């Protein structure tokens, strides 16, 4: 995807009390692309996002949004951005509609019709004139999405947006994000703990750990084909596979190899020719979780999963 990036993080850093919380993060985000932002608890996702929208001052580096440097022209840069930082807190004593009206007034050119349109898009038309204090968490999330979309941002930043949505809501949300990314060319940057979520939704993921960006990759790339093979004796099978040129990785009582479908019959023949007992050969889908684990280490993932 060799388009011009809409957002550019240049060597972004944040130091609090002498501790480097964000360390030299550089990242390009492209229009029409959904980028997932992954990292264990305390990795610095929220801090990065807060710096990207001017809630926190950066200690070093720069954020450029559609050609405007955030620190130089805050208003121009932010007019392109829609944000949800963690839970979208609204004014509970006002109706959903008044909340939207409130935020609409802070942008240029958001009409009443546009507010109504967004309300329909997030499916809130039945409850929009009730006080936000009476809303469920999922409804508040929907309203949060609505306020982020009001001004048709070119760049949408979401920090754990699906927290509190029901499965149908999550799917709708995912489809909606895909839709605005594809049809309106919005660039979406979404942090989440839910790896399966990110995997389904994103084109690309950026992984952060201890304040450093450790990996950026396309999600499609990770969809290589792997096979799980269980044969006895296991050691002999592993040796055979390695001499045949496969990378082997032990899993449960067998091994996982990376292989194309067309290679499998040859593998089976070879194994049986050597007199091995084959118990199972099945495609093995490496999930994002496995890769994430690999990248960031199990201990911290356990922490993430426990949340």
Ligand X SMILES: Nc1ncnc2c1ncn2[C@@H]1O[C@H](COP(=O)(O)OP(=O)(O)OP(=O)(O)O)[C@@H](O)[C@H]1O
Give the binding site for another protein (CB under 8 A).
50, 53-57, 74-79, 81, 83, 85-94, 98, 101-103, 105-108, 147
Looking at the Cβ atoms of 45 and 151, the one nearer to Mg ion is: 45
Picked from another protein, ligand X, Mg ion, none, the partner binding residue 53 (CB below 5 to 8 A depending on kind) is another protein
Q: Give the list of residues 6+ apart from residue 295 with CB closer than 8 angstroms, or none.
A: 207, 209, 214, 215
66 half-sphere exposure, CB direction, 13 A CA radius: 16
Q: Does 46 interact with ligand X (rule: CB under 6 A)?
A: yes
Q: Does 43 interact with ligand X (rule: CB under 6 A)?
A: yes
Q: Is 261 exposed, middle or buried (0-12, 13-18, 19+ CB in 10 A)?
A: exposed
User: How many whole angstroms separate alpha carbon 93 and alpha carbon 133?
Assistant: 6
Of 230, 224, 209, the C-alpha closest to 288 is 224
Nearest approach in angstroms of CB 266 to Mg ion is 48
Q: Which segment (41-49, 90-98, 111-119, 214-222) binds Mg ion by CB under 5 A? A: 41-49
Q: Which segment (40-48, 89-97, 104-112, 293-301) binds ligand X by CB under 6 A? A: 40-48
Looking at the Cβ atoms of 31 and 88, the one nearer to Mg ion is: 88
Find the binder of Mg ion among 33, 35, 46, 95 (CB under 5 A).
Answer: 46
Nearest approach in angstroms of CB 140 to Mg ion is 17
Looking at the Cβ atoms of 232 and 305, the one nearer to ligand X is: 305
Looking at the Cβ atoms of 42 and 228, the one nearer to another protein is: 42
**Helix, strand, coil % over all residues of the chain, rounded to 5:** 40, 30, 35
Find the binder of ligand X among 47, 147, 187, 248 (CB under 6 A).
Answer: 47
Preceding amide of 233 cis, omega within 30: yes
Nearest approach in angstroms of CB 216 to ligand X is 16
Residue 11: CB atoms within 10 Å: 12
Q: Give the list of residues 6+ apart from residue 158 with CB closer than 8 angstroms, or none.
A: 83, 84, 148, 188, 189, 190, 191
User: How many whole angstroms separate alpha carbon 259 and alpha carbon 88?
Assistant: 45
Picked from Mg ion, ligand X, another protein, none, the partner binding residue 43 (CB below 5 to 8 A depending on kind) is ligand X
Q: Which segment (39-47, 59-67, 115-123, 217-225) binds ligand X by CB under 6 A? A: 39-47
Q: Are 123 and 164 in contact (CB under 8 A)?
A: no
Residue 231 β-bridge partners: 278
Q: Which residues bind Mg ion (CB under 5 A)?
A: 45-46
Q: Which residues bind ligand X (CB under 6 A)?
A: 16-17, 21, 39, 41-47
């Amino acid at each position: 995807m060799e388009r011009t990036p809409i957002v550019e993080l240049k060597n972004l850093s944040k130091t609090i009390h002498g501790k480097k919380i964000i360390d030299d993060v550089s990242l390009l985000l492209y229009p029409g692309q959904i980028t997932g932002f992954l990292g264990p608890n305390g990795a610095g996702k929220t801090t990065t996002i807060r710096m990207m929208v001017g809630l926190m001052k950066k200690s070093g580096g720069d954020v450029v949004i559609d050609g405007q440097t955030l620190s130089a022209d805050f208003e121009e840069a932010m007019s392109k951005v829609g944000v949800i930082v963690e839970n979208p807190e609204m004014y509970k004593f006002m109706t959903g509609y008044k909340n939207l009206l409130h935020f609409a007034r802070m942008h240029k050119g958001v009409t009443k019709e546009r507010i109504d349109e967004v309300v329909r898009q997030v499916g809130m038309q039945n409850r929009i004139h009730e006080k936000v204090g009476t809303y469920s968490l999922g409804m508040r999330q929907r309203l949060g999405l609505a306020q982020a979309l009001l001004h048709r941002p070119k760049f949408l930043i979401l920090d754990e947006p699906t927290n509190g949505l029901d499965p149908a809501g999550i799917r709708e949300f995912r489809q909606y994000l895909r839709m605005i990314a594809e049809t309106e060319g919005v660039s979406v940057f979404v942090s989440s703990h839910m790896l399966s979520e990110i995997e389904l939704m994103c084109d690309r993921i950026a992984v952060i750990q201890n304040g450093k960006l450790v990996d950026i990759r396309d999600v499609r790339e990770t969809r290589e084909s792997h096979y799980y093979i269980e044969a006895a004796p296991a050691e002999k099978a592993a040796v055979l596979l390695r001499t045949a040129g496969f990378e082997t990785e032990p899993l449960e009582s067998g091994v996982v190899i990376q292989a194309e479908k067309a290679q499998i019959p040859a593998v089976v023949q070879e194994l049986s020719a050597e007199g091995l007992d084959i118990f199972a050969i099945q495609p093995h889908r490496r999930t994002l979780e496995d890769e994430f684990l690999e990248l960031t280490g199990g201990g911290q993932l356990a922490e993430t999963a426990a949340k």
